[in-house]
Structure 1
Amino acid sequence: LAIEVLDGSEEAEYAATGALHGLPIRSGVIADIGGGSTEVARVIAGRIVGAWSFPLGALSASAEWLTEDPPARKQLKAMRRMVAETLATSAPSGLAESDKLVATGGSARTLARLAQRQAPYPIPRTHGYSLDRDTLRDVGAFLAGHSAIERSAIDGVRAGRADSIVGGAIILEEMMRHLRADRLTVSSGGIREGLAMRAFGEPVPQPRLVRAVTVESLLRHYRVWDEDDMEARAIRADTLSPDPIEDPFSETLEAARLASMLRALADAGTRPVDALLGEDLAGFDHIMLARVAAILHFIDGDKDAARPFLSLLPGSEKRLLRRCAELLA
């Protein structure tokens, strides 16, 4: 058995490849917050153009800087200052307007789970969840106010994460501040998925293609995929706009196409919305999931069920979603 040891930049590249797979993001910064280090990669148009590794681990930094339990305010400030100084001297600069910040690793996923529990939220998975800086700060402050034993009893904090989650929150907060990012997107993919993709020589695919393939796989799994039927459903959805490619709401029209295809699941006795939200569908962030779920609920005439998903979408899109559902019903 041959063992290959990755250096920090290689680890960052593999983590970025795995984190982006299944997310509709092509450009930005990907941060993998590990226990002993943080890897960062910059991606432009799906291509990795830079990779860095820093000795900023959620566990190692917590053990060194947050020695009191719960940590004292002066310790939190000292660690925050250390992280900010490290990023200022070594990390990539701020995001461009269209760039996104993507975070992967156990700390990011734990913080996303806790944020989702703060208020009713209609989508159960953390992959693709968008976390804003204010919410991250509030969750981090809440965790810092409890001891490790108390944190381990909080729903959403898994075993082995209680000692490091406060440090992980500080690293993510300072990363957002350094990059001037208002939000970050959480990915469940990482280095393992990246290694698998590189082993097969696969580049990061276009998000629209990933969504189409993953929905087809789902329908084949339920044995309801029929080429002629799916083509007819797609054509019907495409006629909702004379030119969906140039339409500013093209992702809404894509959601209509996917909703039309997913309705075939009813023939297998499965509620399309349940499959949409219950399966691990690649290529979907929470915005696209909300679009498709809202259309499916509108088609069923259930406006109340659609309302929580509409709350995640811009107001300018809601009327178009209703119109798409009316034409597809």
Structure 2
Amino acid sequence: MMRLGVIDIGTNSVKLLVAEANGSIPRILLERVVITRIGEGLRDGGRLAQHAMDRTLRAVRGLVDEARRLGVLRARAVGTAAFRSASNRADFVRSLQRIGLRLEILSGRREADLSFAAATADLPIAGPVAVVDVGGGSAEMAWGTGSRRRRISLPLGAVRLTEQLLHNDPIQSADFQALLASIRATLRKALRTAGPLPGHVVAVGGTAATLAAMQLGLRRPVPERIHGLRLTRSQLYVLLIVLSLLTAQQRAAMPGLEPGRADIIVAGTAVLAATLGALRVSELTVSTRGLRYGVLLESLKSGARDKFA
């Protein structure tokens, strides 16, 4: 059977997924996440920092080597918010080409579509559902049923919000309140003309996985333990308040929270909690089937994948 790879290069992390094709149902062989923060310090229209590109490229090289050792001959690499906004993204794209990868830069709407397809593929949820993905540079949301859905991409990434609004460690009360106010205002504006709101929310991405692991007391996110876990709005707000009162160093020592997410987890948690409030939903379901799974499913369906050089 053919083995396929997907490399998702996000604003905060690089993710590798290796699967074995078995008809339309893939068998997952390996998942890896490396926090590299290529979007460090990035503003819209700004430049990716050279040191951030260098460390991300090193991580990608390592993941490519690991995929090749597992027999992966074809792979897709996708980039998200950092590449949509960076003026020098072509520099990094050329670096990837030299190691045999062609980077596909996804629009926010397409990113939302792929995450929606992945997250709703195996969770038994009846009725309209919203899939929310809080990334480093943006947050995507798609809602509806089947192919009839709406999708939006919002400037609510955890790295972006942290760098813009949370300037002190520990977080000052005024900054925390400004964070919540900014997120709520953005959501109100985006959802003002959204029409009927969904009754269910599924959350994908690193923030949701981390919060699920913390809620269960796990040392790290374990997909088979956290997939399908429900988190209530009350539980999210309790986690949010606790995390906001700690220093980044104290947060980094908490079980379930990778040190590389310790500085941005407050902003990411605030986005998820505020989203439930804006949608008037009392809980969310965590899914480990995020963007890279959507890319994989699309590749199996369409054959759109590249051969390693």
TM-score w.r.t. the length of structure 2 is 0.60
Number of equivalenced pairs: 195
CA distance in 1, matches of 2:110, 2:136: 17
- Show the counterpart of 1:87: 187
2:166 paired with 1:66:
yes
Pair 1:143–1:93, CA change in 2 (3 A)? farther
- Of structures 1 and 2, the larger Rg is shown by 1
- Show the counterpart of 1:155: 255
Deviation at residue 116 of structure 1 after TM alignment: 2.0
Question: AA paired with 1:40?
Answer: M
Q: Deviations over 1:203-251 (max 9, x none)?
A: xxxxxxxxxxxxxxxxxxxxxxxxxxxxxxxxxxxxxxxxxxxxxxxxx
Q: Identity rate of aligned residues, in percent?
A: 34
User: In 1, are the aligned partners of 2:253 and 2:259 still within 8 Å (CA)?
Assistant: no
- Show the counterpart of 1:28: 129
| Structure 1 SS opposite 2:150 | strand
TM-score w.r.t. the length of structure 1 is 0.56
Question: AA paired with 1:38?
Answer: A
Pair 1:76–1:94, CA change in 2 (3 A)? farther
2:228 paired with 1:128:
yes
Deviation at residue 48 of structure 1 after TM alignment: 4.7
User: In 2, are the aligned partners of 1:105 and 1:190 still within 8 Å (CA)?
Assistant: yes
Which portions of structure 1, spanning 4 or more consecutive aligned residues, are displaced by more than 4 angstroms? none
Question: AA paired with 2:171?
Answer: P
Q: Deviations over 1:237-269 (max 9, x none)?
A: xxxxxxxxxxxxxxxxxxxxxxxxxxxxxxxxx
Deviation at residue 197 of structure 1 after TM alignment: 1.1
- Show the counterpart of 1:178: 278
User: In 2, are the aligned partners of 1:95 and 1:181 still within 8 Å (CA)?
Assistant: no
| Larger fraction in helix | 1
- Show the counterpart of 2:176: 76
Question: AA paired with 1:32?
Answer: D
CA RMSD of aligned residues (A): 2.0
Question: AA paired with 1:95?
Answer: L
In the alignment, structure 1 segments of 5+ residues that lack a partner are 203-329
Matches within 5 A, 1:1-329: 2-26=102-126, 27-44=128-145, 46-91=146-191, 92=194, 95-96=197-198, 99-117=199-217, 125-201=225-301
CA distance in 2, matches of 1:151, 1:63: 17
CA distance in 2, matches of 1:90, 1:70: 30
| Structure 2 SS opposite 1:201 | helix
User: In 1, are the aligned partners of 2:131 and 2:142 still within 8 Å (CA)?
Assistant: yes
CA distance in 2, matches of 1:48, 1:163: 37
Question: AA paired with 2:125?
Answer: I
Question: AA paired with 1:84?
Answer: R
Deviation at residue 111 of structure 1 after TM alignment: 1.0
- Show the counterpart of 1:283: none
